[in-house]
Structure 1
């Protein structure tokens, strides 16, 4: 479409007809001249007409055309084009092609459409352009960086596939911004190919920090569907019960319906590859429901279980994997004095209650504690006992290797000074039996031992009364709790891989009435969990999580072999001895074990897709682009770059220069023709 920078100048074209009109209608006025005699004058024929006629049409056309071209040149004409077409004449491009590979792109034919759109973008890359191909889901991967080789780009696109990740736009846009910021080319463009899930932008961490370089053109290409329906399995709920010596698990699974129509579907439970039960479920439009399967016995470690739905247009969220194992008890050795079993009564009762974790407590005296007891134990509790040098050395090795030690320094407690693992040496006895009893004052509620009691009405330690405690000589550790006189009540020290807690009073009714208070039971269990470094084994995880290697694998040393992780696809990787972490990049079951060890050392992790991706509700791409570049997107295709101005397009095309040259040539031709016609006349 033709446009003009100064269209008012075209009004001068109307003036071209004025001379012609005057020439046609002008009549020569008669002027009477009185002359005395005509005998000496030569007679010349004279023609009188009412209107003149145009005799040299070619000359007139040349003159009018030349003037019209000159007038048009001053009007600055140009051909109107859209932003993309106008941009092609402004120099080489640096193009970042961002392709969404999240698992929602596996819905229907979305991935096929995305590949076609990416190929079209690659085919438009000229020899002067450079393009980068970035695949993104939860994270971004730059597959090909800044090249004009369309073959490399096409090959990388052909090798790509939809993965198990969720849509997160920010990492991809940040990668594109980094590529474009380093480019010396005059034009920068981002082509974003996605189904534009709303949750992919709303749940993107750091989205407010995404900014692209100035004058970057963003072209969104949506491959989503106008209407979609999807069913997904929600995370399961597990209820564990103990029957005789075995654990039984009851599984409750949920089904979410992301569509405007009701659905009836069969929900199945598989355990170790065997179908346990299938139940019908009726789900309301845009609603959810749940089914509860019959309980099954957890007979072995690492039982792999899956809740399944029938296949639909989006397959990955029709499965939910989880792992169940028999409850692993925290093996604890309680060391007391011979003949003083009653002093450990409240402690042993507290340890016998609860199943998260279940505690397997063994009572010993300082003379009967064996090396086998220490090898099997995760925690040792010294309940007001004197410790000999030999036992102290063994306990020091136990703690350094990762064990937990709780030392209760009652009136009979003693510890050899040369074995330096306690937070402080037990000192003098402070007797408060006369006068007002002490109470616990300052507690470190941010510490895991007391974090459970941080909320209001979750436990009152100040209700307990203390009638005696041991002072601490040369304290070298952190104080977690103090009496109201400022003296330490609970101290912590980390030694090697293990932890030591020093309780400066008794764990019975000898010096305090804490065992009679409601906080005693949860306090004992939180202290035990902390000393054992106990964490409830996760039954399921999410793709993209980086998780610590299980404790069973971290004990591997040079003598036991490397710690290996086997992914669901069969890929093997070695877990670093220092970081001990693994990134879950696939959906399914991971197996982590010590290389060369038996199955008893293995730990199985269940990895599931992020179920927020199951909601296929799209967003307007222009909302995303406006947030990224700081101004609204325009145009039918949502181009973020505004249409080039008329002045810019006219300057780029320079049509006025060609019109001036053409007008000058016509004037030269008119001059030659006029001279020739004048000579003939």
Structure 2
């Protein structure tokens, strides 16, 4: 057994035990009253009233001194321990250590992660020979040991060699792994969570831990750190054709209470552009760069800003798949009809636009979104509305030319706007000749009309039209009027959110002269390119902390493929056979950067991994706000670990102090009073 103090820093308080002794020695007593007639009595009085006198009430002095010392020992918190071993048995501790991306934030010379590992090493040193283990909080949580053990030296070495990960931490999965190990052991069990308690990650998390497992939360990181991050990078359209203008959108986030100004650099296809950007406090700023690409293939984009205190999110990557052609599919086309003539017009259009391929599906079955960029439904009868909407939602732009008998409800449903109660078929005007042009309700500055601003190409809907569906002129704000007839009957109605266009301009030569006008091909080219769904190219993006994989396809042997990282270092891979063929998977996990799959010296496929945007907000929260467990200062936890699970003695000292004070009062009452 050992007698130890939990608060040895307060040991100086024991010096206060001399106070009752000094008070007893130096206290001035009231002398008795004597009637005197000579100086003998004066000498007796002076002797008894001297400042310094010998103690006479030894029992009172002893009781008072013991009472004061007992109270002082209450503050020192003495414990009775078992000589380095926990009482009554050993304890198993699992250290849940955060190594997610925010832990790389530096405060001074070291990072939060370094501080967390250093604290864990100290705690293990102080805990003695108890069983322990370490579970990492990252994208795919893992434990150092399969189960807690006594090889503390190995755990400490793993902590010293550990490094942070640019990943989002899977807190729930890490907690489940730690509790799974603790549930398999007996005796005292403790879970120590060491984290920066980043607010964005922990705010909504609740610690659901069995009551017999003690939970201790230790925070590393002393203050919130301001940060400027590249939060998003994408191109629109995400898969342009050769020569098409592409807008590369870069967004910056400012996680601080002061405005920040920085220089943003964008690299694309070997070119480099820059722009100064002002980002408001706790706000976002967007910078757009324009470019076009001369050859098909994957083009890498990289946006970066100058270094700050947190460098992990200063760069972001994206991929643009530049295509040589876009595919349009027409369905169906009955021979000898106006629909067949319309298909022929689209064939001639594709011949005039080198980037457009046009084909016809005779069966009327809808193509897949992967096989068509545009679908043109001729003489739509109001059927397959949901299938068309699903195709548009998947990224294929849908053009629908309604036939006679279609109702307003059919058109409203396709455009995804509120449906009216009426279901009467819309009238078809077949006798007359109408002119059309840019709608007065349309935005003349829209990109689709940019080519026609100078007037060089004239009216984009020049010509006369002999047949049209009598659509109402009033539509909700979510529907855009592109082309209207002179009497405000809509000619082209677009629902950008739904990726659908109602086509009310006949294409056949027998019903219009539009396709023969010089403005027809330029307008159709602009319409097709600008009506494509603005999807962000994320198909080749891999989350940090997950493996990279690629299926090379037929004719490529897996042994001929090598994966390279940003530093052009080959990464180990393994081959798995799937139902669709061989699939290559990296044995390690992805970190932020660009990865290239090469066959020999040739580039076959590119993938990117980006810093998780949720980890850029470095604001911390009080661990007490995380439901469950006890918040303990690291120094206090070290003292606890050093003392073990000893028996606290301070309650006994508190009782002893009260007992001594009571005895002192009783003795004072029994003391005989001096005679007058």
**TM-score between the two structures when normalised by the length of structure 2:** 0.54
Equivalent-residue separation in structure 1 for 2:543 and 2:238 (angstroms): 29
Equivalent-residue separation in structure 2 for 1:448 and 1:164 (angstroms): 37
For the structure 1 residues 265 and 133, does the alpha-carbon distance in structure 2 shift closer, same or farther, using more than 3 Å as the test? same
Residue 253 of structure 1: aligned partner: 250
Contact preservation (8 Å) 2:81, 2:646: no
Match of 1:590 among 566, 588, 595: 595
1:436-487 Cα shifts (integer Å, max 9, x gaps): x986499569955788968841799978799xxxxxxxxxxxxxxxxxxxxx
Equivalent-residue separation in structure 1 for 2:238 and 2:258 (angstroms): 38
Deviates more, 1:233-242 or 1:559-568: 559-568
Residue 93 of structure 1: aligned partner: 91
Residue 662 of structure 1: aligned partner: none
Equivalent-residue separation in structure 1 for 2:389 and 2:590 (angstroms): 33
Structure 1 SS opposite 2:278: strand
Structure 2 SS opposite 1:252: strand
Structure 1 SS opposite 2:246: strand
Contact preservation (8 Å) 2:542, 2:548: no
Contact preservation (8 Å) 1:566, 1:573: no
For the structure 1 residues 312 and 349, does the alpha-carbon distance in structure 2 shift closer, same or farther, using more than 3 Å as the test? farther
Equivalent-residue separation in structure 2 for 1:131 and 1:318 (angstroms): 37
Residue 224 of structure 1: aligned partner: 221
Structure 2 SS opposite 1:134: strand
Equivalent-residue separation in structure 2 for 1:283 and 1:628 (angstroms): 38
Structure 2 portions without partners, runs of 5+? 7-57, 67-73, 396-412, 428-468, 472-490, 504-533, 657-676
Match of 1:279 among 275, 279, 293: 275
Whether 2:126 is the aligned partner of 1:130: answer no
Offset at 1:573? 2.2
Residue 410 of structure 2: aligned partner: none
Residue 42 of structure 1: aligned partner: none
For the structure 1 residues 555 and 653, does the alpha-carbon distance in structure 2 shift closer, same or farther, using more than 3 Å as the test? same
Match of 1:211 among 199, 208, 213: 208
Q: CA RMSD in A?
A: 5.8
Equivalent-residue separation in structure 1 for 2:590 and 2:375 (angstroms): 44
Contact preservation (8 Å) 1:556, 1:563: no
**TM-score between the two structures when normalised by the length of structure 1:** 0.54
Whether 2:181 is the aligned partner of 1:179: answer yes
Offset at 1:165? 0.3
Structure 2 SS opposite 1:148: coil
Equivalent-residue separation in structure 2 for 1:343 and 1:138 (angstroms): 55
Residue 313 of structure 1: aligned partner: 309
Mapping 1:522-533, distance limit 5 Å: 522=500
Residue 456 of structure 2: aligned partner: none
1:138-167 Cα shifts (integer Å, max 9, x gaps): 331112241211221122223321111023
For the structure 1 residues 541 and 450, does the alpha-carbon distance in structure 2 shift closer, same or farther, using more than 3 Å as the test? closer
Contact preservation (8 Å) 2:226, 2:256: yes
Offset at 1:360? 3.8
Contact preservation (8 Å) 1:261, 1:284: yes
Mapping 1:262-273, distance limit 5 Å: 262-272=259-269
Contact preservation (8 Å) 1:334, 1:383: no
Deviates more, 1:556-565 or 1:315-324: 556-565
Contact preservation (8 Å) 1:103, 1:164: yes
Residue 556 of structure 1: aligned partner: 554
- How many residue pairs are counted as aligned between the two chains? 461
Residue 152 of structure 2: aligned partner: 150
Equivalent-residue separation in structure 1 for 2:144 and 2:116 (angstroms): 16
1:629-674 Cα shifts (integer Å, max 9, x gaps): 5xxx36656999xx9xxxx976999999xx9xxxxxxxxxxxxxxx
Equivalent-residue separation in structure 2 for 1:346 and 1:443 (angstroms): 25
Contact preservation (8 Å) 2:80, 2:649: no
Offset at 1:123? 1.8
Match of 2:117 among 105, 115, 118: 115
Residue 571 of structure 1: aligned partner: 571
Equivalent-residue separation in structure 2 for 1:84 and 1:459 (angstroms): 78
Contact preservation (8 Å) 1:93, 1:188: yes
Structure 1 SS opposite 2:190: strand
More RCO (CA 8 Å, sep 6+): 2
Residue 417 of structure 2: aligned partner: 457
Contact preservation (8 Å) 1:168, 1:200: no
For the structure 1 residues 291 and 284, does the alpha-carbon distance in structure 2 shift closer, same or farther, using more than 3 Å as the test? same
Contact preservation (8 Å) 2:300, 2:320: yes
Structure 2 SS opposite 1:119: helix
Equivalent-residue separation in structure 1 for 2:636 and 2:201 (angstroms): 20
For the structure 1 residues 94 and 250, does the alpha-carbon distance in structure 2 shift closer, same or farther, using more than 3 Å as the test? same
Contact preservation (8 Å) 2:81, 2:647: no
Structure 2 SS opposite 1:555: coil
For the structure 1 residues 597 and 294, does the alpha-carbon distance in structure 2 shift closer, same or farther, using more than 3 Å as the test? closer
Residue 231 of structure 2: aligned partner: 234
Contact preservation (8 Å) 1:352, 1:359: no
The higher radius of gyration belongs to 1
Equivalent-residue separation in structure 2 for 1:651 and 1:245 (angstroms): 78
